[in-house]
Chains A and B, each alone.
Chain A
Amino acid sequence: MRNRKLTPYVLVLPAWTWLALFFVIPIGGMLSLSLTTGNVITGFQQTFEVGNYVNAIGTYWEQILRSLFYGGCATLVCIALGYPMAYWIAFKGGAYKTTYLLLLLLPFFVSFVLRTISWRFFLSDNGVALGPLKDLGLLPEGFAVLNTAPAVILGLAYNFLPFMVLPIYAVLERMDPHLVEASHDLYANRFRAFFHVILPVSLPGVFAGVLMTFIPTSADYVNAAVLGGTDNTMIGNVIRTQYLVNNNYPIAASITFVLMGLLLIGIFSYARALGTERVMEVHTS
């Protein structure tokens, strides 16, 4: 064959060009912008102003920590809801496995924004969900969910649940049924069998799921904007405001970089522990 050695490079070239031009370079561009000073009227000049970062962290550390906290909570909720579901579908779903997975994905055909806004109507103080409970006296009159931290966290968990279920499902589904059976024979009860055999095998799926939910949830701003109240601003909201409302690009870019830095540290320690190939294989196969 002619030029067989070149083939992979030719295949990779278009995608690489695209990713380099519109992903790698922009990240560099944002780094550059984060070091400028100025305003919309005078323009932004490159002054290598590292103070932007000090400024950004000093002003917004609270929102950054809150975002990581909300993201973490939402991820835990996703595990709590998603793991048993993935387990049940993988082992008990039988002929309907695909059907269940599709049911899981169906709500996501409806636009992300629309789904979240729907929650706002759903959760209103005297709305479909809380109204009847209050009428029955099961909840105090002043009880509210909308515009609180739990509303934001549940909204985040809601919007990213499939990203947790699918990777866990993928790992469990690939498990050798004989292994499961043997474990039941080997261990006296189902819980021990689960903790000694099934859980360890499924951990890479959980890891991948955590990655796929924690990152987008902690950087989201739609849920906090739609479902949040006075003290639920996430760092995504700040980034959006600084870019699109205040046009304060240097600060906006520095906050974005801080956020990315924090998340990257997490990702790379993950990837180190598992190997990038493996993490990626798990959450996509």
Chain B
Amino acid sequence: MSATFETTDRPVERKRSTPRIRRRTDWGRWYTWAVLAWLFAPIAFMIVFSFNDPAGRHNITWQGFTLRWYADAFAYRDLNEAMYNSVTIALLTMFVAGALGTLLGLALGRYDFRGKQLTNLVMFAAISAPEVVLGAALLSTFLMMNVTTGYWTTVIAHVMFCVSFVAITVRARVITLDPSLEEAARDLGAGSWTTFRLVTFPMLFPAIMAGGLLAFALSIDDYIITSFVSGDVTTFPLWIWGATRVGIPPQVNVMGTLLFAVGLVMAVVNIVAARRRA
């Protein structure tokens, strides 16, 4: 889905043939902003309460402003460990699913081969299958194979459900590539590896990046599949889930806010970059 960012903005809507006489209210704008406000409401709530100063362990009523949770963001060893697990699992997923998905997307976008339909079907099924099904199926198999679930089974599961997303993102890009560039490279005497390295890969890179980031985002946010296959490894979402039972410490809001800030920075960078391109 983040491949959408790549679509180039078209010139702004053309002028109508009949000039408008009075300005109408742009209901669409209001509607869009209302929906956006709805989307941001709980986030705003979370951010505000990262500055709250609760007396006990329940961070639910506003009791005064403080910055101490930011200074003390890493006070919970288990929470840090969970965050660390989440990030490393997401990075591993990004690289492995990125590599596998890129190759798959390249094959699907460029070649005709036996089993292409089947491959599409399997990918499609993997994307559409509900998370509960994926998690349950993997857990069933791990149980029967006597595989102890933990860190690596989590990585395996995340790569599994991310690989198709990467493949599709890359394939979309491959289809739009002009094969003549690669042919030209070959005509100039480049071997297939050299052609790939110097021509194909750089052209695919934005899509690979998008796919990889998508995999990272899907992995770090995943709760349902992870809850089935993580064994005794705790990730950030799992830790929060556990903490709801005894009261979520403000540090969770702090980390949520930091994650949000990372997203915000990425968004701003993206916008600035888009401006520059335009």
Contact = CB atoms under 8 A, between A and B. Distances in A.
Given A112-B221, A118-B46, A158-B39, A19 B32 contact: no
Contact of A92 (B13, B35, B60, B141): B13
Interface in B1-27: 1-5, 7, 9-10, 12-14, 16-17, 26
B137 A128 contact: no
Contacts of B124: 267, 271, 276, 279-280
Interface in B188-202: 192
Contact of A14 (B100, B126, B164): B100
B9 A109 contact: no
A33 interface: yes
B169 interface: yes
B269 to A, nearest CB: 10
A111 to B, nearest CB: 5
Interface in A240-259: 240, 243-244, 249, 252-253, 256, 259
A25 B159 contact: no
B208 interface: no
B149 to A, nearest CB: 11
Interface in A175-218: 177, 181, 184-185, 211, 215-216, 218
A242 to B, nearest CB: 9
A116 B248 CA distance: 13
B13 A94 contact: yes
B39 A104 contact: yes
Interface in B108-140: 108, 110-113, 115, 117, 119-134, 136-140
Contacts of B103: 11-12, 14-15
B32 A88 contact: yes
- Give chain A's interface secondary structure class: helix
A259 to B, nearest CB: 7
Contacts of A240: 132, 227
Interface of B: 1-5, 7, 9-10, 12-14, 16-17, 26, 28-29, 31-32, 35-36, 38-43, 45-46, 49, 60, 99-101, 103-104, 106-108, 110-113, 115, 117, 119-134, 136-141, 143-144, 156-157, 159-160, 163-165, 167-169, 172, 192, 217, 220-224, 227-228, 236-237, 240-241, 244, 248, 252, 256, 259-260, 262-264, 267, 270-271, 274, 278
Interface of A: 1, 7-9, 11-12, 14-16, 18-19, 22-27, 29-30, 32-33, 81-82, 84-85, 87-89, 91-92, 94-95, 97-115, 117-119, 121-122, 128-129, 158, 161-163, 166, 169-170, 173-174, 177, 181, 184-185, 211, 215-216, 218-222, 226, 236, 239-240, 243-244, 249, 252-253, 256, 259-260, 263, 267, 271, 276-277, 279-281, 283-285
